[in-house]
Structure 1
Amino acid sequence: MKLSILDQSPISSNQTAQEALQYSMKLAQAGEAFGYTRYWIAEHHDLSGLACSAPEVMLSYIGAHTTKIRIGAGAVLLPYYRPYKVAEQFNTLATLFPGRIDIGIGRAPGGSAEASNALTDNFLQQIWAMPNLVEELLHFIENDFPADHMFAKLSASPLPEISPMLWMLGTSKKSALLAGSKGLAYSFGQFMSDKDGAEIIQQYRDAFISKKKGEQAQVILTVSAICAETTEKAEEIAQSSLIWSLQRLEGKGEQGVPSKQEAKEYGLNDQQKEKLEKMKEKMIIGNPKEVRGKLESMQAHYKADEIMITTVAHNPDERIYSYQLIAEKLLI
């Protein structure tokens, strides 16, 4: 099984944003040592408790401190940007770190309406233009605009020897069909979806049109997982993540991921308890044997080529250890 890491760069209640970003680099280094295939970092804007608003900046830092793990954005929120600039940024990264760069692209706002308005004057229009934005980005990455195109003589320099690999990220039929029609690899965010992911992934495979000889559909399934030596310990660690998710849903969580003690002391009413249980159903929580079984079962059910894991914990060392325990059962 191929395993990878999605890092949201969470800030714990006892951390600064600088410390959270430094731990993101340490997580990438650990993932490389454990045998993970790729490390992606997410893009968020003015969301309390999340440190990374500029994946392209973090990837240069992480690439310089790793040697072989693939690194990428999960995702570049394309409606905010001109495809040419995205291509320039990631071609530069691919020139610096040959054969290691992924561009995960998405259309979510990644923040508040105020943040969207600050980033662009026409976010909703750009959402509708997403197929065209993707097509333009593909041509800039491959440097293959038709001769009569207005950008035919324009290159997103520097042009790397190995182009970045494009992935479409999503949780819907629309994103799956767009990925398939453009011949892109597809990453389904199971951890943030209530939809039938297996059906959506199959729709992607059915819609896939190969743009290059030998190119095949590729699927990453992204899940939320926390692993510890015992189920009880994993449940305790997970409670911090769950309470923080609940706080963020209620417009709180400014203090970051709470400690285990803070999570334990957090008062919950019946409605909050019900929400917490529903969120917990989307997560994989357990000891190494339990987590391995659940991941293998999910891979078979979704027919995924690769599993990407996102883990949130108050203690960054426990977060890294969770990835280590999973790797020891499935990779090492």
Structure 2
Amino acid sequence: MKLSILDQVPLSEGASYKEALNQTIQLAKDAERLGYKRYWIAEHHDLPGLTCPAPDVLLSRLGAETNTIRIGAGAVLLPHYRPFNIAERYNLLASLYPNRIDLGIGRAPGGSAEATLALSERYLEKVRQYPELIDDLQRFLTNGFPQDHTFSRIRPRPVPAIQPQMWLLGTSEKSAKLAVEKRLPYSFAHFMSDSNGPQIVQSYKKAWREAYPNEKPYVVLAVSAICAETEQEAEELALSQALWQVSQDSPVPSTEKARQHQFTVQQKEMVKRSREKQIIGNPEKVVKELLSLKEIYNADEIMILTITHSYEARKRSYELIANTLDE
């Protein structure tokens, strides 16, 4: 089973932003050592518990600290930007790190309404134009504008020998259809979706085979998981994420603080719904459930998101999963 990592660059209570960023740099190096296929950085804006608003800036450092693992954005929130600028930035990364750059695209705001307004005054209009923005980005990356188009006279330089690999990220039937229409590999966020995920992924693969019979569809399934030596330890670690999920106006709390918190009935219901999409347990249980999800979705690759207060626990979770899968 191919494994990858999605890093939201969490900030733990008591840690500095610099420490959180340095942990991501170290984790990417560890991921390469452990055999993970790719390492994606998420984009968020003004969320106290998450640290990265600009994946491309952080990816530049990750590329310099690693040698073979693919690195990328999961995802660039395209409605906030002009496609030419994104093409320039990821062409630059692809020139620095040939055949290693993934450019995931999404349309979520990534923050509050106020942060969205500060980033892009016409965000809702840009969301409606999302398919056209993807078209323009693809044309900039491939020099695909018609000769009579104004943009045919410009290139997002530097032009790399191997262009970034574009992906479309989503959680819905609509995003799956758009990925087929734009001829893009698809990443489905199982940990975020309330929809019938397996059905959505299967519809993507079916539509892809009908549209491009000579090409194989490719799906990455993003899953939230926490793995520890024992079931009890994993459940203890998950308390931090549970409290953080119901109060995301703060960094990820410690397990001690989470253990002492009195969850309201509403908060308990929120945690219960979230747990239905999470895998928490010892190595054997986690790997078994990951393999089961891969089979249910018919996914080609599993991308794991792990958030704990302790960086060492987060790193150990990825180690246990990788090592158990290799046994």
Query: So what's the TM-score if we normalise by structure 1?
Result: 0.96
Asked if 1:264 is matched to 2:259, the reply is yes
Match for residue 159 of structure 1? 159
Match for residue 228 of structure 2? 228
Asked if 1:140 is matched to 2:140, the reply is yes
Mapping of 1:128-207 within 5 angstroms?
128-207=128-207
Letter aligned with residue 325 of structure 1: L
Q: CA deviation at 1:36?
A: 0.3
Moved over 3 A (4+): 209-215
CA distance in 2, matches of 1:305, 1:331: 17
SS of the residue aligned with 1:168?
strand
- CA deviation digits over 1:8-56, x for unaligned, max 9? 0000001111110110111111110000000000000001111000101
Instruction: Indicate the percent of aligned positions where both proteins have the same amino acid.
Output: 51
Assess, with a 3 A threshold, how the Cα gap between structure 1 residues 148 and 214 changes in structure 2: closer, same or farther: farther
CA RMSD in angstroms, aligned pairs only: 1.5
Match for residue 286 of structure 2? 291
SS of the residue aligned with 1:192?
coil
1:182–1:208 CA contact under 8 A, matched in 2: no
Q: CA deviation at 1:319?
A: 0.1
Match for residue 325 of structure 1? 320
Assess, with a 3 A threshold, how the Cα gap between structure 1 residues 209 and 89 changes in structure 2: closer, same or farther: farther
SS of the residue aligned with 2:221?
strand
CA distance in 2, matches of 1:213, 1:271: 48
CA distance in 1, matches of 2:111, 2:185: 25
CA distance in 1, matches of 2:165, 2:69: 14
Match for residue 114 of structure 2? 114
Match for residue 55 of structure 1? 55
CA distance in 1, matches of 2:78, 2:266: 36
- CA deviation digits over 1:33-83, x for unaligned, max 9? 000000000000001111000101000011111111000000000001010
CA distance in 2, matches of 1:117, 1:210: 40
CA distance in 2, matches of 1:119, 1:206: 37
Letter aligned with residue 7 of structure 1: D
Total equivalences in the alignment: 327
CA distance in 1, matches of 2:294, 2:59: 28
Q: CA deviation at 1:186?
A: 0.3
Q: CA deviation at 1:176?
A: 0.7
Asked if 1:34 is matched to 2:29, the reply is no
Query: So what's the TM-score if we normalise by structure 2?
Result: 0.97
Match for residue 15 of structure 2? 15
Match for residue 68 of structure 2? 68
1:116–1:123 CA contact under 8 A, matched in 2: yes
Assess, with a 3 A threshold, how the Cα gap between structure 1 residues 331 and 215 changes in structure 2: closer, same or farther: farther
1:55–1:73 CA contact under 8 A, matched in 2: yes
Unaligned segments of structure 2, at least 5 residues: none
- CA deviation digits over 1:174-199, x for unaligned, max 9? 11111011110000001011110111
1:182–1:209 CA contact under 8 A, matched in 2: no
1:169–1:189 CA contact under 8 A, matched in 2: yes
Letter aligned with residue 41 of structure 1: I
CA distance in 1, matches of 2:271, 2:224: 14
Letter aligned with residue 109 of structure 1: P
User: Which residue of the other structure, out of 283, 292, 302, is the alignment partner of 2:297?
Assistant: 302
1:34–1:331 CA contact under 8 A, matched in 2: no
Q: CA deviation at 1:207?
A: 2.8
Letter aligned with residue 70 of structure 2: R
